[in-house]
Structure 1
Amino acid sequence: MTEKLLQFIWGFGYFNKSSLATTKGEPLQIIFPGSLNKNQGPDFSSAKIRLGNTTFAGNVELHLKTSDWIKHGHESDANYRNVILHVVYEHDVDVNNIPVFELSPRVSVLLLNRYESFMNNASFIPCGGNIVSAKELIWKGWKERLLVERLSRKAEHVLCLFEASNCHWEETFWWMLARAFGGKINGDAFEAMARSVPVNLLSKHKTSLHQLESLLLGQTNLLNDAFEEDYPKLLQREYRFLKSKYNLQPTAVPVLLLRMRPGNFPTVRLAQLAALVHQTTHLFSRIIEAQKLGEITDAFAVAANDFWHYHYTLKEASSFKKKTIGADMADNVIINTVVPVLFAYGLYRNEEKYKDKALRWLDETSAEVNRVTKGFEFIGIKNRSAYDSQALLELRNEYCSEKRCLNCSVGNHLLREAAADYQPASGKLL
Structure 2
Amino acid sequence: MKEDFLHYVWQYKKFSFSNLKTVSGELLTVINCGQYLQLSGPDFFNAQIIIGDQKWAGNVEIHIKSSDWYLHHHEKDEAYDSVILHVVWEHDTPIFRKDNSELPVLELKDYVLKEVVRNYQELTSSKSWIYCENQLGSVDEFVIKNWQERLFFERLERKSLSIEQLLQETANDWEAVLFYMLAKNFGLNTNGEIFLKVAKSIPFAVLRKERFEVENLEALFFGRADLLPMEPEDLYAKALKARFDYLLQKHQLETIFIEPVQFFKHRPDNFPTIRLAQLAMLYHKESNLFSKLIDTKDVEQFYKMFSISISDYWQTHYQFDKESPKKKKQFSNSFIDLLLINTIAPIKYAYAKSLGKEISEDLLELFYTIPAEKNAIIDKFSQFGCKSKSAFDTQSLLTLKNEYCNKSKCLQCAIGIQLLKV
Q: What band does the TM-score fall into relative to the shorter chain? A: 0.7 to 0.9
Cα distance change, pair 149–75 in 1 and its aligned pair in 2 (3 A): closer
State the distance in 1 between where 2:200 and 2:107 align: 61
- Whether the 8 Å CA contact 1:196–1:250 is kept in 2: the answer is no
Q: For each residue in 1:232-290, what CA deviation from the matched residue of structure 2 results, as whole angstroms up to 9, or x when unmatched?
A: 33333433433333334454212222222111111111111111112211111112222
Map 1:65-104 onto structure 2 (within 5 A): 85-90=85-90, 101-104=106-109
State the distance in 1 between where 2:70 and 2:166 align: 49
Cα distance change, pair 106–208 in 1 and its aligned pair in 2 (3 A): same
Letter in 2 for 1:317: E
Tell me the TM-score normalised to structure 1 length.
0.84
Question: Is 1:152 matched up with 2:157?
Answer: yes
Q: For each residue in 1:87-139, what CA deviation from the matched residue of structure 2 results, as whole angstroms up to 9, or x when unmatched?
A: 44356788888765543344343432332344443311111121222222222
- CA shift, 1:144, in A, is 2.2
State the distance in 2 between where 1:300 and 1:38 align: 43
Q: For each residue in 1:301-343, what CA deviation from the matched residue of structure 2 results, as whole angstroms up to 9, or x when unmatched?
A: 1111233222211211122332111112111111111112222
Counterpart position of 1:135: 140
Counterpart position of 1:230: 235
Map 1:12-411 onto structure 2 (within 5 A): 12-17=12-17, 19-22=18-21, 29-36=29-36, 38=38, 42-49=42-49, 56-64=56-64, 85-90=85-90, 101-249=106-254, 251-253=256-258, 254-353=260-359, 356-411=361-416
Cα distance change, pair 203–108 in 1 and its aligned pair in 2 (3 A): same
Secondary structure at the counterpart of residue 47 of structure 2: strand
Percent of paired sites with the same residue:
37
- Whether the 8 Å CA contact 1:158–1:172 is kept in 2: the answer is yes
Cα distance change, pair 226–346 in 1 and its aligned pair in 2 (3 A): same
- CA shift, 1:212, in A, is 2.6
RMSD: 3.1
- Whether the 8 Å CA contact 1:21–1:27 is kept in 2: the answer is yes
Tell me the TM-score normalised to structure 2 length.
0.86
State the distance in 2 between where 1:224 and 1:104 align: 71
Unaligned runs of 5+ in 2: 96-100
Letter in 1 for 2:228: L
Secondary structure at the counterpart of residue 191 of structure 1: helix
- Whether the 8 Å CA contact 2:229–2:237 is kept in 1: the answer is no
Query: Bigger relative contact order, structure 1 or 2, given CA contacts below 8 A and separation 6+?
Result: 1
Counterpart position of 1:424: none
Secondary structure at the counterpart of residue 129 of structure 1: coil
- Whether the 8 Å CA contact 2:297–2:366 is kept in 1: the answer is no
Q: What is the aligned length?
A: 415
Q: For each residue in 1:337-390, what CA deviation from the matched residue of structure 2 results, as whole angstroms up to 9, or x when unmatched?
A: 11122222223233223x554444333322211111111111111212222211
State the distance in 1 between where 2:58 and 2:88 align: 17
- Whether the 8 Å CA contact 1:48–1:55 is kept in 2: the answer is yes
Secondary structure at the counterpart of residue 320 of structure 1: coil
- Whether the 8 Å CA contact 2:185–2:342 is kept in 1: the answer is yes
Cα distance change, pair 223–86 in 1 and its aligned pair in 2 (3 A): closer
State the distance in 2 between where 1:64 and 1:292 align: 52
The 10-residue stretch of structure 1 (156-165 or 295-304) with the greater mean CA deviation from structure 2: 295-304
Cα distance change, pair 98–391 in 1 and its aligned pair in 2 (3 A): same
Question: Is 1:415 matched up with 2:420?
Answer: yes
Unaligned runs of 5+ in 1: 421-430
